[in-house]
Chain A
Amino acid sequence: MNDMTPVAKMTPKDWETDQEVRWCPGCGDYAILKAVQRTLPEIGARPESTVFVSGIGCSSRFPYYVESYGFHTIHGRAPAVATGVKLANPELDVWIITGDGDALSIGGNHTMHILRRNLDCQILLFNNEIYGLTKGQYSPTSREGTRSPSTPFGSVDRPAKPAAFALGSGARFVARGFDVSKNLPDVLKAAYAHKGAAFVEIFQNCIVYNKDVFADFTEKKNADDGQLWLENGKPMLFGKGAKGIALDREALTLKVVDVVDGDWQAADVIVHDVTNRSVAHMLVEMPFGSFPMALGVLYDDPAPSFESAVVAQNEQAAKGKTPDLQKLVSQGQTWTVGSGAETDAAEAGSAGSGPEL
């Protein structure tokens, strides 16, 4: 930030630390780390003005492996810590790394409020639908019936949907990607470009406790029919262009339509508009199976960010006022006691102008 010397273009290598990475071999987190390290030089980020803040969980070890400032905080509280960091220094690029348990269980409240306030930051939620670091209990995003050490007969509660939660909390940017996707850096770039809270759900394969839970759409053989990559201004096509998403005008829901000979207009396929909040609500609720998984930038419609509003208000409130500690402590209704026990009411006329008693 304060570095005035011209710097050589950075490479992904420059964003690696000397720390040994401690994730399980084959964990999806490695791919996400690589994608982030590839993205950072491309967006022109600087290590000294970048801060990674995380909570607790496998994903939250992330900051130790990125050569920037990093704060590995406590379970669920990364958004709150990040809010203090950004309010104290709005110039910093703040990235929050979290997981499904961290962001939606113990830290659900903070996730809701950081999105509602629209703090300028990137929130990367690694969703593996399981508690990894505590050895495999079901998580708030685990599917109904998930068998785990704490649910040996299967979980009975319905899962939270991270992207729907984010949108419902007032997020102005919602995107999705998955660990090994080649498109992930593009999604991260879009998140970085968005001023305000950018929420990215990244499906991540926990090869130990919840292996291949997303294989239905992440595996190569399922990609065509399972992945709907959204692009602003482009029709919502998948299945090699043979299928599309259209609006069922009667039911006011989305539907899958067949596209014949590439004529998507004839099939009434929707053209993706990232600023359309109503369609975004439908995309995040789209049930996987009968529909493909909506990926890429689902919604992107910036609004004023929290820290900029706070700074503006602070400046406005301080305008024309000179800080003067002596004046400050002398405020309110004062009186002077003379050298004897003589007392003389001073400034009594200013009654009511000072702080309330």
Chain B
Amino acid sequence: MASVAPLSPPIDPADDQSLESVVVRFAGDSGDGMQLTGGQFTLSTALAGNDLATFPDFPAEIRAPQGTLFGVSAFQINFGSTDITTAGDAPDVLVAMNPAALKTNVKDLKPGGLIIADEGEFNDRNLAKAKYEANPLTDGSLAQWQLLSLNISQLTLDSVKPFGLGNKEALRCKNMWTLGLALWMFDRDRQPIVAWLKAKFAKAPELADANIAALDAGHAYGETAEISGEGLGLKQHHVPSAAVPSGLYRTVTGAEAISLGLVAGTQLAGLPMFFGGYPITPASAILHHLSRLKEYGVTTFQAEDEIAAIASAIGASYAGSLGITSSSGPGIALKGEAIGLAIMTELPLVIVNSQRGGPSTGLPTKTEQSDLYQAVYGRNGDAPMPVIAARSPADAFECAIEACRIAVQYMTPVMLLTDGYIANAAEPWKVPDMATFAPFPVTFMDTAQEGGFLPYARDEKLKRPWVKPGTPGLMHRIGGIEKGVNTGHIEYSPANHQAMTDIRQNKVLGIADSLPDQDVSLGTDSGKLVVVGWGSTFGPIHQAVRRARAKGRDVSHVHIRHIWPLPKNLGTLLKGYEKIIVPEMNTGQLKTVLRDQYLVDAKPLNKVSGQPFRIAEIEAAIEDALK
């Protein structure tokens, strides 16, 4: 893992020396195709051998009014020759397709960074919509940055003229012109994008040709400007390949990785998958991916609501499939009662929560980690449930498999926490060798039992047997009413409820026996300070700790995957440090759990702006703590 040290001096368009890493942000109107541009730039960057991380940031509205500040959609990519774990603190390059995009993003740009703006969109109407009183491209207000003001709209129109498109359609190619220029700036291959455009517009070859022409024109513009030395003397930059382990790689988003992990998990368990889902941002992509994978024994069911989504998954688990459901905070809230049913009936179930900003509808497209309490505590009654959190898109694959394993090996619902950032962000992924994953095949009880069948009898792990309806001689009834020990009959007696509550509690706590010890991601297993994180804050925490250690600070990084039950050695480990900081994108939820479980003085570092932590924010907190 290496630095994303601020480029000092910041990227100079006239300087062609090699760069260790670069942060580029594409920003435009939500109709400008910025996510697409970013996605394709990501692909070409991955193919060029850079390590990378991305951060798509888009409005909740599908088509927000054109040119408005709230309709701005942005895509940030950090790529380099070193290990990249965050999308980068501040962009080196900002591509602004209109005044609103400039206004909402320019304040993040590094001092001296480069702005590429489409001056063709900086007309009075758009300036007014962005609440600019004067044109920032000409009034000198951008003096602290370098400005490359081009009429991208006109250049695009010129480049696609031969294809006879209408003005509106022709202007839609703007993003490809911009992408062409960006590809040239960083010496990227256009071929994969050309192939992608041809496939995408297979049914409208004239659109494919126009987009390719725009892409080529943007690229050629860079070349020509460099050779002729016109304008700013735009130059190419070289970001060398990252030194990463050899093997086959692909890019993967968290939603893809979770879907693949769930398929792998059910296959390793030897079970068909039943996925009950209801559309919700940012979780829907998992339903979309899985609905195409029928050959892996996957049945997907778009239910009438969140409750039916989980209830159907519980029914499917009862009938012998592995039931899975997925949602985001508000939907998980609706599923709460049914999660309790799965806990009471002790059926396996995987619940994926792609967290977003809350409470209520909150910030559907922004990221937050504020559902930890909901995951660990958020049900009526004493209702223990294992909780796992993924730290990155690639990590989500293994977490999904782990969730399936725990669900079937302990007959319990398991919650997998991810978030909007992980779900949407892409990163390079070393394709795993599936032969290295040990299968965990499920054995159903299928023969009549001597002395009668006890559906709530238990093995050494306190797991009850799983019997599929259809099995002769083992008919039994289950439900949400308290169960008698062993018999599973309705039983309200005080001693029985005490016994069953203890069993449910101990069963889930006992999962810790099957978990690896908590390790230290970076640093030492004792010392002055430890920064403890979970979920998608892994990247910025890791880089901040690395930088602080490079300056000689005694600080370590502990990252927790298993939120409940916690790894058995975690308490002892944490007590080996003098101070503990817990950075979270919430108001201090893991912090509370750690304090409660270990009586340690964990200090919160909180951010709930809908944006991921910056490395510098955590670095500053480390310096503060060590003062």
Interface residues on B, range: 35 or more
Q: Which of these binds chain B: A82-90, A179-187, A190-198, A224-232? A: A82-90
| Complex alpha-carbon distance, A317 and B289, angstroms | 14
Q: Determine which residue in B46, B48, B345 has the highest number of CB atoms from chain A within 10 A of its CB, and name it.
A: B46
**Cross-interface CB contact of B480 among A51, A73, A86, A357, cutoff 8 Å:** A73
Residues of A within 8 A of B49 (CB): 335, 337, 341, 343
| Complex alpha-carbon distance, A316 and B624, angstroms | 62
On whether A325 and B315 interact (CB within 8 A), knowing A67-B475, A351-B192, the answer reads no
| Secondary structure of the B contact surface, majority rule | mixed
Residue of B nearest to A322 (CB): B295
Decide if A331 is an interface residue (CB 8 Å cutoff): yes
Residues of A within 8 A of B625 (CB): none
On whether A321 and B295 interact (CB within 8 A), knowing A85-B316, A113-B304, A352-B199, the answer reads yes
Decide if B191 is an interface residue (CB 8 Å cutoff): yes
| Complex alpha-carbon distance, A355 and B304, angstroms | 26
**Cross-interface CB contact of A81 among B42, B305, B311, cutoff 8 Å:** B311
| Complex alpha-carbon distance, A69 and B260, angstroms | 33
B295 engages A318 (CB within 8 Å)? yes
Residues of B within 8 A of A346 (CB): 248
How many Å from the CB of B34 to the closest CB on chain A? Answer: 13
Give a binary string over B456-490; 1 marks a CB under 8 Å from any A CB, 0 the rest: 00000000000011111111111111000000011
| Complex alpha-carbon distance, A51 and B250, angstroms | 45
Residues of A within 8 A of B441 (CB): none
On whether A331 and B250 interact (CB within 8 A), knowing A318-B295, A325-B267, the answer reads yes
Residues of B within 8 A of A67 (CB): 475
B319 engages A89 (CB within 8 Å)? yes
B337 engages A74 (CB within 8 Å)? yes
Residues of A within 8 A of B241 (CB): 341-343
**Cross-interface CB contact of A333 among B251, B294, B316, cutoff 8 Å:** B251
Residue of A nearest to B471 (CB): A48
| Complex alpha-carbon distance, A346 and B431, angstroms | 14
Residues of A within 8 A of B301 (CB): 83-84, 87, 310
Decide if B523 is an interface residue (CB 8 Å cutoff): no
| Complex alpha-carbon distance, A70 and B476, angstroms | 6
**Cross-interface CB contact of A109 among B260, B305, B426, cutoff 8 Å:** B305
| Complex alpha-carbon distance, A313 and B264, angstroms | 22
Give a binary string over B412-442; 1 marks a CB under 8 Å from any A CB, 0 the rest: 0000000000000010000111110000000
Decide if B333 is an interface residue (CB 8 Å cutoff): no
Q: Which residues of A from 322 to 357 have beta carbons under 8 Å from B? A: 322-323, 325-326, 328-343, 345-346, 348-357
| Complex alpha-carbon distance, A342 and B48, angstroms | 10
A63 engages B477 (CB within 8 Å)? yes
A88 engages B319 (CB within 8 Å)? yes
On whether A333 and B43 interact (CB within 8 A), knowing A85-B316, A92-B319, the answer reads yes
A341 engages B243 (CB within 8 Å)? yes
B318 engages A85 (CB within 8 Å)? yes
| Complex alpha-carbon distance, A250 and B311, angstroms | 48
Residue of A nearest to B309 (CB): A80
A357 engages B43 (CB within 8 Å)? yes
On whether A73 and B475 interact (CB within 8 A), knowing A84-B318, A89-B470, A335-B46, the answer reads no
Residues of B within 8 A of A356 (CB): 39
B289 engages A73 (CB within 8 Å)? no
A328 engages B251 (CB within 8 Å)? no
Decide if B313 is an interface residue (CB 8 Å cutoff): yes
Decide if A19 is an interface residue (CB 8 Å cutoff): yes
Residues of B within 8 A of A351 (CB): 43, 192-193, 195-196, 199
Residues of B within 8 A of A2 (CB): 470-472
Residue of A nearest to B312 (CB): A84
On whether A83 and B315 interact (CB within 8 A), knowing A73-B479, A351-B196, A352-B196, the answer reads yes
How many Å from the CB of B56 to the closest CB on chain A? Answer: 10
B244 engages A357 (CB within 8 Å)? no
How many Å from the CB of B188 to the closest CB on chain A? Answer: 11
A110 engages B308 (CB within 8 Å)? yes
Residue of A nearest to B489 (CB): A19
B294 engages A72 (CB within 8 Å)? no
Residues of A within 8 A of B313 (CB): 84
| Complex alpha-carbon distance, A317 and B470, angstroms | 27
Residues of B within 8 A of A354 (CB): 250
B295 engages A355 (CB within 8 Å)? no
How many Å from the CB of B274 to the closest CB on chain A? Answer: 5
Decide if A68 is an interface residue (CB 8 Å cutoff): yes
A336 engages B248 (CB within 8 Å)? yes
On whether A72 and B274 interact (CB within 8 A), knowing A2-B470, A89-B320, A352-B199, the answer reads no
**Cross-interface CB contact of B470 among A49, A314, A325, cutoff 8 Å:** A49
**Cross-interface CB contact of A357 among B251, B319, B341, cutoff 8 Å:** B251
| Complex alpha-carbon distance, A68 and B276, angstroms | 26
How many Å from the CB of A140 to the closest CB on chain B? Answer: 18
A71 engages B42 (CB within 8 Å)? no
B315 engages A88 (CB within 8 Å)? yes
Residues of B within 8 A of A91 (CB): 470
Residues of A within 8 A of B478 (CB): 70-72
Decide if B307 is an interface residue (CB 8 Å cutoff): yes
**Cross-interface CB contact of B431 among A68, A73, A329, cutoff 8 Å:** A329
11 intermolecular pairs with C-beta atoms under 8 Å apart? A68-B475, A72-B479, A73-B479, A85-B319, A310-B299, A332-B251, A333-B251, A334-B250, A348-B191, A352-B200, A356-B39
**Can you list the 5 inter-chain pairs with the closest CB atoms, starting with the nearest?**
A84-B315, A72-B479, A343-B49, A352-B199, A80-B311
Given contacts A86-B319, A113-B308, A333-B192, 10 further A-B contacts (CB under 8 A): A17-B477, A74-B337, A77-B307, A84-B314, A85-B315, A88-B318, A89-B319, A89-B320, A113-B304, A345-B192
